[in-house]
Amino acid sequence: MYRPMTRKSFLANGGKAFVGASLAGTLLAGCGGQEGGTGELTYWSALEGAGPRRYYKENIEKPFEKANPGIDLKVQFQSPEDLDRTIRTALQGGEGPDLVPTPGPSFALEYIDANLFIELDEYAEQYDWQDKILGWALESGRLEGKLYSVPTEFETMLLYYNKSLFEEKGWEPPRDRDELESLAEEAQGQGIVPFSAGSADWRPTPEWFMTIFWNHYSGPEALYQALTGEVPWTDPVFVEAVDLHNQYFQNGWYGGSVEKFFSTGSDAYHTQFGDGEAAMNMEGSWFLFEVDNFFGQAAGNDNEWDWAPLPSLVDEVPLQIFELGIGSTLSINQRSQVSDAAAKYINWLFSDPERAAQRMADVPAVFNIPIPIEREDFPSNMDPRVADVLATLSEVTSKGNFGYTTWTFWPPKSDVYVYEGMEQVLTGDTTPGEYCAELNRIFKQELNAGEIPPIIRPETA
Amino acid sequence: MPAEQPALEVPEERAASPERPSRKRAGRTPRQRRRTIMAWAFMLPLVIVNLVVIVGPAIATVYYSFTEWSGIGPAEFVGLQNYRQMLTSGEFYEALLHNIIWTGIFLTVPIAMGLLGAFLLSQITRFQMLFRIVYFIPYVIASVVNASIWENLLDPERGIGPALASIGVPFLDGVAFFGDQRLALPSVAFVDNWHWWGFVLVLFLTAMQSVDRDLYDAAKVDGASRWHQFRHVTIPGIRPTLVFVMLMTIIWSLLVFDYIYILTQGGPAGATEVVATLMYKEAFARFEAGYAAALGLGMSFVSGLIVLVFLYLRRRGWEI
C-alpha cells in the first residue's frame, strides 16, 4: 500500500544529508510550509448559515491567528451534504485540506484504513489532550490504540416539550414508560399530536427514534455487546424495542400518522410543536440551535419550551442515559505540510474552557466540543436550559451513563438499513423480527470486514 | 479445378463517378490536407476535454465496476461479482420497475399535454408568445425551487388540501401525497411533469409551425375536421420531433434523479426508489462505489440498447 511520507518524517530523514536538506527546503518553499508549526493552514468546514459562519470568522479564525502568529488559517465553507463527497474526491486525488473534518467516526474509519490521516498521539501527549477532552470523546477517535481524530461537535437525544402547553394542561414531563404512554394517550385524546415528527426533508429521521428505543429499552450494555459482536441483533431485547417503537407509530403518536410522518418536513413539525399542536419532540441537541425560532415572539406565539431527559422504558435501564453522538470530527491530512500548525488549531479549540463555553453560549449546539465543563463555567447570559443540557451531559456521561447513537457507532451499511428498513416496518412490509434479522446479517458482514467504528466502553468515560 | 470465374465488372458510370471521392490519400491536394489539419486543430480542444472529462471517467467506471471499492483507497478486483449482485438484487429490480413506470408516465402524460397544448396554441395568433413564455417558465426554474414549492403545496397539514377543506372542499384534506406508498411515485412524477410539459409544448409548437399550411387548406377542402387535421396532417408533419422527444424521454426517464432525490430520497419504504437514487445511495451512503459503478453501467447499457433499437428501425425504413 502506498504510504506517503509526512513532512515530519521527511525532515527527520532529510536532515541527515545535505542533498536531503536542500530537497526538503525546496519542497517546503513550494508548499508554503515553514518550520515550527507555521504557514498556511487550510480547513474545509461544514458550518451552515451566514450567522454561524460570520461568528466563526470573528470568534475562532481571527483569535486563533492572533494567538498563533505565522499561521494563516484559510477556511472554506461548504454545505454539509456536499462536504464529505468533496473531501472523498480530494483525498482520493492526493489533495484536500490540512484539517479534514468528517461527519463522524464511521466516516473517519474509512480514511484511516486508507492511510489518509496522520496519528495524533504525539500531539495528544504534547498538549495534554487527555486532560482537556472528555475520555469517551478521545476514545472514539482511536483505532487499534492509535488516535486519528478528535470530535469537534457532540450531540445527544433530548425530550423537548412545549412548557406553556404542559402548564396549561397541568402535565409533567414523563419519567418512565407508563407516564410517557399515559401522556401520549391523553394528548392524542385532546387532539394534540403527542410527538412532533417528520422525515420529508431528512429521511434518516427514524434512526433518531431507534437510537432512543434501543438505548432506553434494550439498554447500553446490550448495545455494547451487540456492537462488539457478542450478541446478535435478533436477540429479543432488540426485537421488542423495535416492536414498541412501531406500536407508538401505529398509534399515530409520531406526527399524527405514518403517512404524515413521511410527508412532513422539519419546518412544519417544528412549527406544529411551537404552536402547541404537538406536545413533545424527541430530537437531538442540535435542535437547540433553532428552537427559539419556533417559540415566543419570533414565531408569533406566546409559548415557551423546555427539555427533559428521555425516560427509561424498562426498569433495568438506568434513569438518566444520554446517547452520545458525534456530529463531526477533525483529523490531519497525511499529505499536510503544516501538521504542527494543524495540531495547534485542534489544541486551541480545546484549550480554554471559558472561551469554549462562550462559543457554546453564543451559538447553541453548533460549537459543542466535548470538554469537561460545569454549570458555573458558562457565562451568566447563557440560556439556562442550554447550559443545563451541556452541564448535565458532561456530568452524567463522565460517570459512564451513556448510550450509543446509530449514526456514530453503527457501520455505514447497517446505519442505512436502520432507517430504510424501519420505513418498511412502519409501512407493514416487514416485521420487527425480520427487520432485526436483516440488520444482523448486514452487521455481521461489516463486522467481519472490520468496518465497525471504535465502540467506547462505559468505563473509559 | 474450379471453373473460371467471370471478372467482376464495375459499371463505367459508377467507377468514374466524380461524386465518389477516392479513398487514396495520395490523391489529396495540399489544400485538402490543410483543410483536414485545420479541422482537426479546431476539434482538438474539444476532443481533449472529452477524453479528460468523459472518456477517462467512463473507462475508470468500467474498471471500478469490476472491483470492490469504497470510493477511498485501493480497489480490489472481484470480477463479475458486482454484476451478479445487481442481477440478483430485489432492490435493483424494484428500482428498475419504478423507472419503467416513470417512463410510461412521461411517454404519455406530458407528450399528450404538449401535443394538445401546442395544437391549440398553433390555432391562435394573439397572446401566443405570452402563453409560450408562461408554459416555459417552470422549465427554467431550478428543480430545487420547483420541488420546494410543491412540497409546501402538497403538505398534508398546511398545503392546498387543508386550504380547500377550509372552504368546504374536503376531498384532499390530510392526503399525504409524498408519504403514502401508493401516491408517492405519481406525486413526484406530477411535480416533475409540471415543469417538463411546457418545454415539450414549445418543441411541438415550433415543429407544428413548420408544417406546410397548404396541407391544412387541402384537408379543409376535403372536409377534414380539426381532429382529422391533427391526426393526418399535424402528427405526420411533426413526426421527427415527436420521435426525438419520445426517445429522449425514455433515456431521461431511465436516468431520472433530481426530483425524486429532493422530494422523497427514494422513500417511503422504497416506493420512489429508482436506479439513479439507488446508485447514489450505494456510492455515498453505503460506500459501495464499485457496485454503484456496475449499476451505472447497467443503466447505460439499457439506454444504449434503446438507441440501437431506434437506429436499427430507422435503417429498416421506419419513418422515425
Contact A199 B174 (CB under 8 A): no
Identify the pLDDT of residue B104.
96
Question: B72 contacts in A (CB within 8 Å)?
Answer: 88, 91-92, 110-111, 113-114, 116
Average pLDDT over residues A20-46: 59
Note whether B154 and B146 are within 8 A (CB). no
Residue A233 makes CB contacts below 8 A (sequence gap 6+) with A226, A436, A437, A439, A440, A443
Average pLDDT over residues B102-116: 95
Cell of B266: 427514494
Contact B155 A413 (CB under 8 A): no
pLDDT digits (tens, 9 = 90+) for A226-283: 999 999 999 999 999 999 999 999 999 999 999 999 999 999 999 999 999 999 999 9
d(CA B234, CA B205): 10
Average pLDDT over residues B263-283: 94
Query: Which phi and psi angles does B67 have, rounded to 5°?
Result: -130, 160
Q: How many CB atoms lie within 10 A of CB A389?
A: 22
d(CA A326, CA A106): 10
For residue B189, tell me if it sits in a domain: yes
pLDDT digits (tens, 9 = 90+) for A150-175: 999 989 999 999 999 999 999 999 99
Position of cell 450505494? B282
Contact A260 B267 (CB under 8 A): no
Question: A262 contacts in B (CB within 8 Å)?
Answer: 176, 178-180, 184, 267-268
Average pLDDT over residues A352-366: 89
Q: For A260, which of B70, B72, B156 is closest by C-beta distance?
A: B156
d(CA A451, CA A429): 29
Percentage of chain B beyond pLDDT 90 is 68
Position of cell 464495375? B10
Q: For B179, which of A116, A263, A272 is closest by C-beta distance?
A: A263
| Residue B11 clears pLDDT 60, i.e. is over it | no
Q: Which is it for the CA torsion A428, A432, A437, A443, positive or negative?
A: positive
Full domain range(s) for residue B107: 90-259
Note whether B35 and B264 are within 8 A (CB). no
pLDDT band at A105 (very low <50, low <70, confident <90, very high): confident
Residue A18 makes CB contacts below 8 A (sequence gap 6+) with none
For residue B289, tell me if it sits in a domain: no
| Residue A347 clears pLDDT 80, i.e. is over it | yes
How many separate domains does chain B show? 1
Contact A429 B281 (CB under 8 A): no
For residue B122, tell me if it sits in a domain: yes
For residue B138, tell me if it sits in a domain: yes
Contact A1 B74 (CB under 8 A): yes
Long-range pairs of A266-269 with CB within 8 A, sequence gap ≥ 24: A266/A198, A266/A201, A266/A202, A268/A198, A268/A200, A268/B155, A268/B157, A268/B158, A269/A196, A269/A197, A269/A198
Please write down the HEC assignment for all residues of chain A: CCCCCCHHHHHHHHCCCHHHHHHHHHHHHHHCEECCCEEEEEEEECCCCHHHHHHHHHHHHHHHHHHCCCEEEEEEECCHHHHHHHHHHHHHCCCCCCEEEECCHHHHHHHHHCCCECCCHHHHHHHCHHHHCCHHHHHHCEECCEECCEEEEEECEEEEEEHHHHHHHCCCCCCEHHHHHHHHHHHHHCCCEEECCCCCCCCCCHHHHHHHHHHHHHCHHHHHHHHCCCCCCCCHHHHHHHHHHHHHHHCCCECCCHHHHHHCCHHHHHHHHHCCCEEEEEEEHHHHHCHHHHCCHHHCCCCCEEEECCCECCCCCCCCCEEEEEEEEEEEECCCCCHHHHHHHHHHHHHCHHHHHHHHHHCCCCCCCCCCCCHHHCCCCCCHHHHHHHHHHHHHHHCCCEEECHHHHCCHHHHHHHHHHHHHHHCCCCCHHHHHHHHHHHHHHHHHCCCCCCCCCHHHC
| Residue A16 clears pLDDT 60, i.e. is over it | no
Average pLDDT over residues A105-113: 87
Average pLDDT over residues B174-191: 95
| Residue B95 clears pLDDT 90, i.e. is over it | yes
Contact A265 B180 (CB under 8 A): no
Question: B281 contacts in A (CB within 8 Å)?
Answer: 416
**DSSP one-letter string for B119-174:** HHHHT--TTHHHHHHHHHHHHHS-HHHHHHHHHHHT-TTTSHHHHHHHTT-GGGTT
Residues comprising chain A, all counted: 461
Question: A264 contacts in B (CB within 8 Å)?
Answer: 155-157, 179
- Whether the CB of B154 is below 8 Å from some CB of chain A: the reply is yes
pLDDT band at A316 (very low <50, low <70, confident <90, very high): confident
For residue B296, tell me if it sits in a domain: no
Identify the pLDDT of residue A1.
36
Q: What H or E segment, with its residue span, contains residue B77?
A: strand B76-77
CA end-to-end span of chain B, whole Å? 51
Identify the pLDDT of residue A79.
85
| Cα three-residue angle A128-A3-B294, rounded to 5 degrees | 115
Contact B179 A116 (CB under 8 A): no
Average pLDDT over residues B1-12: 44
Identify the pLDDT of residue A81.
76
Nearest chain B residue to A423, by CA: B269
Contact A423 B267 (CB under 8 A): yes
Q: For A259, which of B70, B179, B265 is closest by C-beta distance?
A: B179
Q: In whole numbers, what is the pLDDT of chain B averaged over residues? A: 88
Least confident of A77-91, A142-156, A274-288, A447-461: A447-461
Tell me what ipTM this predicted complex has.
Answer: 0.80
| Residue B320 clears pLDDT 90, i.e. is over it | no
Q: For residue A136, which of A417, A396, A424 has the smallest C-alpha distance?
A: A396
Residues A59-72 as b/e (b if ≥16 CB within 10 A, e otherwise) read bbbeebeeebeebe
For residue B277, tell me if it sits in a domain: no
Identify the pLDDT of residue B25.
53
Domains in chain A (CATH in brackets) are: 7-153+327-381 (3.40.190.10), 157-323+401-460 (3.40.190.10)
Percentage of chain A beyond pLDDT 90 is 67
Q: Which is it for the CA torsion B132, B135, B141, B143, positive or negative?
A: negative
Pairing of strands A142-143, A278-284: unpaired
Q: Which is it for the CA torsion A186, A192, A197, A200, positive or negative?
A: positive
Nearest chain B residue to A198, by CA: B179
Average pLDDT over residues B255-275: 94
Contact B176 A262 (CB under 8 A): yes
Nearest chain B residue to A263, by CA: B179
d(CA B9, CA A79): 73
Q: For A262, which of B73, B74, B268 is closest by C-beta distance?
A: B268
Identify the pLDDT of residue A92.
85
CA–CA min distance B77, chain A (Å) = 15
Average pLDDT over residues A423-440: 97
For residue B166, tell me if it sits in a domain: yes
Question: B287 contacts in A (CB within 8 Å)?
Answer: 110, 412-413
- The whole-model pTM stands at 0.83
Q: What is the CATH number of the domain that holds B96?
A: 1.10.3720.10
pLDDT band at A398 (very low <50, low <70, confident <90, very high): confident
CA–CA min distance A200, chain B (Å) = 6
Q: For residue A71, which of A84, A81, A60 has the smallest C-alpha distance?
A: A60
For residue B152, tell me if it sits in a domain: yes
| Residue B17 clears pLDDT 80, i.e. is over it | no
| Residue B171 clears pLDDT 60, i.e. is over it | yes
| Residue B74 clears pLDDT 90, i.e. is over it | no
Identify the pLDDT of residue A26.
39
Q: In whole numbers, what is the pLDDT of chain A averaged over residues? A: 88
| Residue A195 clears pLDDT 50, i.e. is over it | yes
Identify the pLDDT of residue A17.
38
Q: For A263, which of B73, B177, B269 is closest by C-beta distance?
A: B177
More confident residue, A404 or B24: A404
Residues A306-319 as b/e (b if ≥16 CB within 10 A, e otherwise) read ebebbbbbeeebee
Cell of A25: 527546503
CA–CA min distance B179, chain A (Å) = 4
| Residue B38 clears pLDDT 50, i.e. is over it | yes
| Residue A84 clears pLDDT 60, i.e. is over it | yes
Distances (CA, A) of B70 to A280, B91, B170, B282: 40, 20, 50, 9
Q: For B181, which of A412, A420, A427 is closest by C-beta distance?
A: A427
Contact A110 B287 (CB under 8 A): yes
d(CA B210, CA B240): 12
d(CA A70, CA A68): 6
Q: For residue A92, which of A78, A118, A110, A73 has the smallest C-alpha distance?
A: A110
d(CA B257, CA B249): 14
